[in-house]
Protein backbone atom coordinates (compact mmCIF):
# COMPACT_ATOMS: atom_id res chain seq x y z
CA UNK A 1 0.00 0.00 0.00
CA UNK A 2 1.62 3.23 -1.19
CA UNK A 3 -1.43 5.53 -0.96
CA UNK A 4 -4.78 5.24 0.79
CA UNK A 5 -7.12 6.88 -1.67
CA UNK A 6 -9.74 4.13 -1.65
CA UNK A 7 -10.66 1.12 0.45
CA UNK A 8 -9.63 -0.78 -2.66
CA UNK A 9 -6.01 0.31 -2.04
CA UNK A 10 -5.66 -1.90 1.03
CA UNK A 11 -5.44 -5.69 0.96
CA UNK A 12 -7.26 -7.93 3.41
CA UNK A 13 -3.97 -8.76 5.09
CA UNK A 14 -2.95 -5.10 5.33
CA UNK A 15 -6.34 -4.26 6.81
CA UNK A 16 -5.92 -6.98 9.41
CA UNK A 17 -2.44 -5.66 10.27
CA UNK A 18 -3.70 -2.09 10.48
CA UNK A 19 -6.48 -3.00 12.92
CA UNK A 20 -4.00 -4.94 15.05
CA UNK A 21 -1.60 -1.98 15.05
CA UNK A 22 -4.48 0.33 15.98
CA UNK A 23 -5.18 -1.78 19.04
CA UNK A 24 -1.51 -1.57 20.04
CA UNK A 25 -1.32 2.20 19.56
CA UNK A 26 -4.54 2.80 21.49
CA UNK A 27 -3.19 0.75 24.37
CA UNK A 28 0.11 2.67 24.29
CA UNK A 29 -1.77 5.94 24.52
CA UNK A 30 -3.82 4.71 27.49
CA UNK A 31 -0.59 3.80 29.28
CA UNK A 32 1.01 7.12 28.39
CA UNK A 33 3.79 5.45 26.40
CA UNK A 34 5.69 7.61 23.92
CA UNK A 35 5.70 6.27 20.36
CA UNK A 36 7.18 8.62 17.76
CA UNK A 37 7.87 6.84 14.44
CA UNK A 38 7.16 10.13 12.60
CA UNK A 39 9.78 12.14 14.46
CA UNK A 40 11.25 14.63 11.98
CA UNK A 41 8.43 13.97 9.47
CA UNK A 42 5.98 16.56 8.15
CA UNK A 43 2.43 16.02 6.88
CA UNK A 44 0.52 18.41 4.60
CA UNK A 45 -3.19 18.58 5.46
CA UNK A 46 -5.19 19.98 2.52
CA UNK A 47 -8.79 20.76 3.49
CA UNK A 48 -11.05 22.01 0.71
CA UNK A 49 -14.10 20.99 2.77
CA UNK A 50 -14.75 21.95 6.43
CA UNK A 51 -14.09 19.38 9.13
CA UNK A 52 -14.04 18.73 12.87
CA UNK A 53 -13.21 15.06 13.51
CA UNK A 54 -11.03 14.52 10.44
CA UNK A 55 -8.92 17.62 10.89
CA UNK A 56 -8.43 17.34 14.65
CA UNK A 57 -7.77 13.59 14.62
CA UNK A 58 -5.12 13.92 11.91
CA UNK A 59 -3.48 16.96 13.49
CA UNK A 60 -3.41 15.38 16.96
CA UNK A 61 -2.36 12.03 15.51
CA UNK A 62 0.69 13.32 13.67
CA UNK A 63 1.76 15.30 16.77
CA UNK A 64 1.42 12.24 18.99
CA UNK A 65 3.53 10.27 16.51
CA UNK A 66 6.28 12.88 16.81
CA UNK A 67 5.67 14.61 13.50
CA UNK A 68 4.35 17.99 12.41
CA UNK A 69 1.23 18.81 10.41
CA UNK A 70 0.75 21.82 8.14
CA UNK A 71 -2.91 22.78 7.68
CA UNK A 72 -3.78 24.19 4.26
CA UNK A 73 -7.16 25.37 3.02
CA UNK A 74 -8.05 26.82 -0.36
CA UNK A 75 -7.88 30.39 0.95
CA UNK A 76 -4.34 30.01 2.23
CA UNK A 77 -2.85 28.15 -0.74
CA UNK A 78 -2.56 28.56 -4.49
CA UNK A 79 -5.19 25.84 -4.93
CA UNK A 80 -7.74 28.52 -4.17
CA UNK A 81 -6.45 30.52 -7.13
CA UNK A 82 -6.69 27.65 -9.56
CA UNK A 83 -3.27 26.02 -9.42
CA UNK A 84 -3.56 22.53 -10.98
CA UNK A 85 -3.60 19.78 -8.37
CA UNK A 86 -0.77 18.01 -10.22
CA UNK A 87 1.46 21.06 -9.75
CA UNK A 88 0.65 21.19 -6.05
CA UNK A 89 1.47 17.49 -5.81
CA UNK A 90 4.89 17.85 -7.41
CA UNK A 91 5.82 20.83 -5.22
CA UNK A 92 4.55 19.45 -1.90
CA UNK A 93 6.31 16.14 -2.58
CA UNK A 94 9.61 17.99 -2.28
CA UNK A 95 8.68 19.52 1.08
CA UNK A 96 6.66 16.96 3.04
CA UNK A 97 6.58 13.25 3.82
CA UNK A 98 2.88 12.70 3.25
CA UNK A 99 -0.30 14.46 2.07
CA UNK A 100 -3.80 14.20 3.51
CA UNK A 101 -6.57 15.75 1.42
CA UNK A 102 -10.27 16.32 2.07
CA UNK A 103 -12.00 17.54 -1.07
CA UNK A 104 -15.06 17.23 -3.29
CA UNK A 105 -14.10 15.18 -6.34
CA UNK A 106 -12.40 11.81 -6.07
CA UNK A 107 -10.61 12.59 -9.33
CA UNK A 108 -8.62 15.33 -7.59
CA UNK A 109 -7.25 12.87 -5.07
CA UNK A 110 -6.45 10.31 -7.76
CA UNK A 111 -4.55 12.96 -9.73
CA UNK A 112 -2.77 14.15 -6.59
CA UNK A 113 -1.65 10.57 -5.95
CA UNK A 114 -0.51 10.12 -9.54
CA UNK A 115 1.87 13.09 -9.39
CA UNK A 116 2.92 12.89 -5.74
CA UNK A 117 6.13 11.14 -4.75
CA UNK A 118 4.93 10.79 -1.14
CA UNK A 119 1.91 8.87 0.24
CA UNK A 120 -1.53 10.44 -0.28
CA UNK A 121 -4.45 9.79 2.07
CA UNK A 122 -8.10 10.38 1.20
CA UNK A 123 -9.67 12.21 4.14
CA UNK A 124 -13.04 12.35 2.30
CA UNK A 125 -14.30 12.84 -1.23
CA UNK A 126 -17.66 12.69 -2.94
CA UNK A 127 -17.02 9.01 -3.72
CA UNK A 128 -15.34 7.57 -0.65
CA UNK A 129 -14.53 8.10 3.02
CA UNK A 130 -12.07 5.25 3.64
CA UNK A 131 -10.54 6.61 6.87
CA UNK A 132 -14.01 6.60 8.44
CA UNK A 133 -14.49 2.93 7.60
CA UNK A 134 -11.16 2.01 9.24
CA UNK A 135 -12.42 3.56 12.47
CA UNK A 136 -15.82 1.91 12.07
CA UNK A 137 -14.32 -1.55 11.59
CA UNK A 138 -11.99 -1.13 14.56
CA UNK A 139 -14.90 0.01 16.76
CA UNK A 140 -16.94 -3.03 15.75
CA UNK A 141 -13.95 -5.26 16.46
CA UNK A 142 -13.69 -3.77 19.97
CA UNK A 143 -17.33 -4.54 20.71
CA UNK A 144 -17.90 -7.77 18.78
CA UNK A 145 -14.36 -9.22 18.55
CA UNK A 146 -15.10 -11.11 15.31
CA UNK A 147 -16.51 -9.80 12.01
CA UNK A 148 -17.66 -13.09 10.54
CA UNK A 149 -21.42 -13.45 10.44
CA UNK A 150 -22.21 -9.94 11.68
CA UNK A 151 -24.95 -8.03 9.93
CA UNK A 152 -24.54 -4.28 9.42
CA UNK A 153 -27.55 -2.32 8.16
CA UNK A 154 -26.79 1.02 6.53
CA UNK A 155 -29.81 3.32 6.19
CA UNK A 156 -30.18 6.49 4.17
CA UNK A 157 -28.15 7.87 1.30
CA UNK A 158 -25.91 5.52 -0.68
CA UNK A 159 -23.13 8.07 -0.38
CA UNK A 160 -19.35 8.07 -0.01
CA UNK A 161 -19.50 6.40 3.41
CA UNK A 162 -21.77 3.68 2.04
CA UNK A 163 -19.46 3.10 -0.96
CA UNK A 164 -16.43 2.60 1.29
CA UNK A 165 -18.46 0.45 3.66
CA UNK A 166 -19.35 -1.91 0.83
CA UNK A 167 -15.67 -2.68 0.30
CA UNK A 168 -14.81 -2.82 4.01
CA UNK A 169 -17.67 -5.20 4.73
CA UNK A 170 -16.81 -7.48 1.81
CA UNK A 171 -13.16 -7.67 2.88
CA UNK A 172 -13.97 -8.59 6.47
CA UNK A 173 -16.83 -11.00 5.85
CA UNK A 174 -19.50 -8.71 7.30
CA UNK A 175 -22.99 -9.10 5.85
CA UNK A 176 -23.84 -5.61 4.60
CA UNK A 177 -27.39 -4.47 3.86
CA UNK A 178 -27.84 -0.96 2.47
CA UNK A 179 -31.39 0.42 2.48
CA UNK A 180 -31.86 3.59 0.45
CA UNK A 181 -34.73 5.34 -1.33
CA UNK A 182 -35.05 4.48 -5.00
CA UNK A 183 -32.55 6.50 -6.99
CA UNK A 184 -30.22 7.00 -4.02
CA UNK A 185 -28.48 3.63 -4.10
CA UNK A 186 -24.70 3.38 -3.71
CA UNK A 187 -22.43 3.45 -6.77
CA UNK A 188 -22.80 0.47 -9.09
CA UNK A 189 -19.00 0.36 -9.35
CA UNK A 190 -18.58 -0.22 -5.61
CA UNK A 191 -21.46 -2.69 -5.48
CA UNK A 192 -19.82 -4.83 -8.18
CA UNK A 193 -16.38 -4.59 -6.56
CA UNK A 194 -17.86 -5.57 -3.20
CA UNK A 195 -19.67 -8.54 -4.71
CA UNK A 196 -16.43 -9.75 -6.29
CA UNK A 197 -14.52 -9.51 -2.99
CA UNK A 198 -17.42 -11.04 -1.06
CA UNK A 199 -17.00 -14.27 -3.02
CA UNK A 200 -13.70 -14.78 -1.18
CA UNK A 201 -15.11 -14.04 2.30
CA UNK A 202 -18.71 -15.33 2.04
CA UNK A 203 -20.06 -11.89 2.95
CA UNK A 204 -23.60 -10.99 1.89
CA UNK A 205 -23.99 -7.73 -0.03
CA UNK A 206 -27.62 -6.65 -0.30
CA UNK A 207 -29.01 -3.39 -1.69
CA UNK A 208 -32.67 -2.77 -0.94
CA UNK A 209 -35.24 0.01 -0.73
CA UNK A 210 -36.85 -1.57 2.34
CA UNK A 211 -35.47 -0.31 5.69
CA UNK A 212 -37.14 -3.10 7.66
CA UNK A 213 -35.52 -5.77 5.49
CA UNK A 214 -32.13 -4.21 6.09
CA UNK A 215 -32.55 -3.83 9.86
CA UNK A 216 -34.10 -7.25 10.48
CA UNK A 217 -31.83 -9.20 12.88
CA UNK A 218 -29.03 -6.66 12.36
CA UNK A 219 -26.18 -6.51 14.87
CA UNK A 220 -25.31 -2.94 13.94
CA UNK A 221 -27.47 -0.18 12.46
CA UNK A 222 -25.57 2.66 10.79
CA UNK A 223 -26.70 5.94 9.30
CA UNK A 224 -25.34 9.23 7.96
CA UNK A 225 -26.76 12.66 7.23
CA UNK A 226 -29.30 12.85 4.43
CA UNK A 227 -27.81 15.98 2.82
CA UNK A 228 -24.02 16.13 2.71
CA UNK A 229 -21.89 19.24 2.18
CA UNK A 230 -22.69 20.66 -1.23
CA UNK A 231 -26.26 19.30 -1.15
CA UNK A 232 -27.76 21.99 1.10
CA UNK A 233 -30.24 23.08 -1.59
CA UNK A 234 -31.72 19.57 -1.56
CA UNK A 235 -32.26 19.48 2.22
CA UNK A 236 -36.05 19.88 2.25
CA UNK A 237 -36.59 17.49 -0.65
CA UNK A 238 -34.32 14.88 0.90
CA UNK A 239 -35.93 15.21 4.34
CA UNK A 240 -39.26 14.16 2.85
CA UNK A 241 -37.82 11.32 0.75
CA UNK A 242 -35.59 9.88 3.50
CA UNK A 243 -37.91 10.10 6.50
CA UNK A 244 -38.99 6.41 6.21
CA UNK A 245 -35.28 5.55 6.71
CA UNK A 246 -34.95 7.39 10.02
CA UNK A 247 -33.29 5.28 12.72
CA UNK A 248 -35.71 5.35 15.64
CA UNK A 249 -36.71 3.04 18.46
CA UNK A 250 -39.60 1.60 16.44
CA UNK A 251 -37.34 0.57 13.55
CA UNK A 252 -34.74 -0.87 15.91
CA UNK A 253 -37.32 -3.34 17.24
CA UNK A 254 -36.63 -5.34 14.07
CA UNK A 255 -32.91 -5.62 14.88
CA UNK A 256 -31.15 -7.88 17.39
CA UNK A 257 -32.04 -7.09 21.02
CA UNK A 258 -28.42 -6.03 21.67
CA UNK A 259 -28.12 -3.98 18.44
CA UNK A 260 -25.47 -1.26 18.34
CA UNK A 261 -26.01 2.12 16.71
CA UNK A 262 -23.31 3.90 14.68
CA UNK A 263 -23.09 7.27 12.95
CA UNK A 264 -20.06 8.91 11.34
CA UNK A 265 -21.18 12.34 12.63
CA UNK A 266 -22.13 15.14 12.64
CA UNK A 267 -25.69 13.99 13.33
CA UNK A 268 -28.89 15.87 12.56
CA UNK A 269 -31.03 14.71 15.45
CA UNK A 270 -34.66 14.36 14.51
CA UNK A 271 -33.76 13.65 10.91
CA UNK A 272 -31.67 10.52 10.17
CA UNK A 273 -31.67 9.51 13.86
CA UNK A 274 -33.81 10.36 16.86
CA UNK A 275 -32.45 11.86 20.07
CA UNK A 276 -33.37 8.81 22.16
CA UNK A 277 -31.41 6.45 19.88
CA UNK A 278 -28.18 8.44 19.62
CA UNK A 279 -28.18 9.07 23.38
CA UNK A 280 -29.06 5.48 24.29
CA UNK A 281 -26.79 2.82 25.78
CA UNK A 282 -26.80 1.15 22.36
CA UNK A 283 -25.09 4.13 20.73
CA UNK A 284 -21.33 3.74 20.25
CA UNK A 285 -20.83 6.88 18.18
CA UNK A 286 -18.40 8.49 20.64
CA UNK A 287 -16.07 5.47 20.66
CA UNK A 288 -16.39 5.46 16.89
CA UNK A 289 -15.37 9.13 16.72
CA UNK A 290 -12.44 8.61 19.10
CA UNK A 291 -11.17 5.70 17.06
CA UNK A 292 -10.64 7.99 14.06
CA UNK A 293 -7.53 9.15 15.95
CA UNK A 294 -6.18 5.67 16.63
CA UNK A 295 -6.80 4.15 13.17
CA UNK A 296 -5.31 7.18 11.44
CA UNK A 297 -2.22 6.97 13.63
CA UNK A 298 -1.86 3.34 12.56
CA UNK A 299 -2.34 4.34 8.92
CA UNK A 300 0.30 7.07 9.13
CA UNK A 301 2.70 4.68 10.84
CA UNK A 302 2.27 2.14 8.04
CA UNK A 303 2.50 4.62 5.15
CA UNK A 304 5.08 7.23 6.10
CA UNK A 305 8.66 6.02 6.27
Which positions are catalytic?
Answer: 102, 129, 132, 224, 264, 292
Is 130 annotated in a binding site? The answer is yes
Is 6 annotated in a binding site? The answer is no
Is 54 annotated in a binding site? The answer is yes
Is 90 annotated in a binding site? The answer is no
Is 114 annotated in a binding site? The answer is no
Is 224 annotated in a binding site? The answer is yes
The SS3 of residue 206 is strand
Contact by Cβ (8 Å): 259, 271: no
Is 51 annotated in a binding site? The answer is yes
Long-range contacts (CB closer than 8 Å, 24 or more residues apart) made by 50-54: 50/229, 51/102, 51/123, 51/124, 52/266, 53/265, 53/289, 53/292, 54/102, 54/123, 54/124, 54/131, 54/292
Is 164 annotated in a binding site? The answer is no
Is 265 annotated in a binding site? The answer is yes
Cα 56 to chain centroid distance, Å, stands at 15
Q: How far apart are CA 76 and CA 4, in angstroms?
A: 25
Q: Which helix (H) or strand (E) holds 99?
A: strand 98-102
Cα radius of gyration rounded to whole Å, the chain: 19
Is 244 annotated in a binding site? The answer is no
Is 231 annotated in a binding site? The answer is no
Is 29 annotated in a binding site? The answer is no
Is 73 annotated in a binding site? The answer is no
The distance in angstroms from the start CA to the end CA of the chain is 12
DSSP codes of every residue in 223-283: E--SS-TT-GGGHHHHHHHHGGG-B-HHHHTTS-TT-EEEE-S---BTTTB-HHHHTSTTB
Please enumerate, by residue number, every residue annotated as part of a binding site for L-ornithine. 160, 224, 228-229
Please enumerate, by residue number, every residue annotated as part of a binding site for carbamoyl phosphate. 51-54, 78, 102, 129-132, 264-265, 292
Please enumerate, by residue number, every residue annotated as part of a binding site. 51-54, 78, 102, 129-132, 160, 224, 228-229, 264-265, 292
Amino acid sequence: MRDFISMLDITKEELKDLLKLTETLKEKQKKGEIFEPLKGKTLALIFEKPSTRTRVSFEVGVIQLGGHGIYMDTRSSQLGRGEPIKDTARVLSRYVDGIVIRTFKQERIVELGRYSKVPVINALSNEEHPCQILADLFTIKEYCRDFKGLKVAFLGDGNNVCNSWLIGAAMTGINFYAATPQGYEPSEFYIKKAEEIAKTTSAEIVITNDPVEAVKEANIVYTDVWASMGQEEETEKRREIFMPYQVNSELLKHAKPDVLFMHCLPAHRGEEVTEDVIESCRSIVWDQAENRLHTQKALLTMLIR
